[in-house]
Amino acid sequence: MTLLETDDLTVRFGEKTVLDGIGFTLAAGERLGLIGASGSGKSLTALAILGLLPEEAQVRGSIRLDGVELLGRGDRELSRLRGNRMAMVFQEPLSALNPLMRVGNQIGGPLRLHRGLSRKKALAEAISLAEQVGLPDPENLVRAYPHQLSGGQRQRVGIAMAVASRPALLLADEPTTALDVTVQAEILGLLDDLVTEQGTALLFVTHDLAVLAQVVRRVLVMGEGRVLESGSLETILRKPAHPYTRNLLELARAASFHRAPEAAR
């Protein structure tokens, strides 16, 4: 069953076309990796789906969630879907959390908004979510401020906030880029588990092939605002059709080659 479908999605800033005819589908519970170089339009694709592009962006085409067109819908209507049917995990866990709001309130925010939970119930839910995402001492942790947590813990908070109302679609925009390698693996494992457990569809944005291989099997390669190719991870790794993809693969191999001696120590 198709959950998300974009068709000829085109975004322009004035004369500059930043997304050019993006089309893909995502079934319920399915995972899709979105890979491409910096500036290729990965983040904008995710933001377009949420309806959170900057005001000056001109958008054409179609984005359907559960068969319903999202483009052209008002902000009020969209905000009922955000954090509810679809949610997002951001790249920078520190800046994506309000520095002056206690962690528990941030995790419970979507629940208060969409489920109408009382403050007390939302906090209880936040504690159990904090436990689910593997945060230590959840009862006390929900009363902490973001700066009192480690990077990995902050990203766990970001994930808890995103999955709080069990969205059908989870967008993750480079959720591990800001973290160091050992923490990366833990966070990827957590995302993997949660998505499997909740049957959530996942759109995973990254420019790191090694990371991608840990969470998805189907991949969309983007370059300069266009979909260059798509297919299973194996096909893309073994027979990249596009020179751009080949280049990306080479870069990734070179990077892992350079990383290898360190890993051996």
Partner 1 sequence: MRRAARRWRTLRTVASAVVRRPTGAFGVAVAAVLVLAAVVSVWWTPFDPQATDVRAAWLLPFQRGHLLGTDRVGHDQFSQLLAGSRETLFAATGSASIAAVLGIALGVTAVLSPRPVGAVVVQAIDLVIAFPGLLLAMVLAAVYGGSLATVVAAVGISAGVGVARVSRAEIARILSQDYVLAARAAGASTGRIVRKHLLPNIAPTLIVQLSLVMALAVLAEATLTYLGYGSSPSTPSWGGLLHTQQDYIRVRPLLVIWPGLAVALTVLGFNLLGDALRDATDPRLRSGVRS
Ligand X SMILES: Nc1ncnc2c1ncn2[C@@H]1O[C@H](COP(=O)(O)OP(=O)(O)OP(=O)(O)O)[C@@H](O)[C@H]1O
What residues make contact with partner 1 under the rule CB under 8 A? 50, 52, 55, 75-76, 79-84, 87-88, 90, 92, 95-101, 109-110, 113-114, 119-120, 143-145, 147-148, 158, 161-162
Site residues, Mg ion (CB under 5 A): 43
Residue whose CB is less far from partner 1, 15 or 75: 75
Residue whose CB is less far from ligand X, 104 or 225: 225
Strand partners, 88: 171
Distances in Å between the Cα of 230 and the Cα atoms of 22, 23, 193, 207 are 12, 11, 25, 15
- To the nearest whole angstrom, how small is the minimum distance from the Cβ of residue 11 to Mg ion? 14
Distances in Å between the Cα of 238 and the Cα atoms of 226, 227, 233, 235, 265 are 21, 19, 8, 5, 29
Residue whose CB is less far from ligand X, 36 or 175: 36
Q: How far apart are CA 103 and CA 70, in angstroms?
A: 31
Which of partner 1, Mg ion, ligand X, none does residue 155 bind to, with CB < 5 to 8 Å depending on kind? none
Site residues, ligand X (CB under 6 A): 13, 18, 36, 38-44, 54, 207
Q: How far apart are CA 19 and CA 15, in angstroms?
A: 12
Determine the length of the chain: 265
- To the nearest whole angstrom, how small is the minimum distance from the Cβ of residue 114 to ligand X? 27
Which of partner 1, Mg ion, ligand X, none does residue 20 bind to, with CB < 5 to 8 Å depending on kind? none
Residue whose CB is less far from ligand X, 66 or 224: 224
| Other Cβ atoms closer than 10 A to 231 | 16
Strand partners, 86: 82, 169
Residue whose CB is less far from Mg ion, 46 or 126: 46
C-alpha of 167 from chain center: 12
- To the nearest whole angstrom, how small is the minimum distance from the Cβ of residue 43 to partner 1? 11
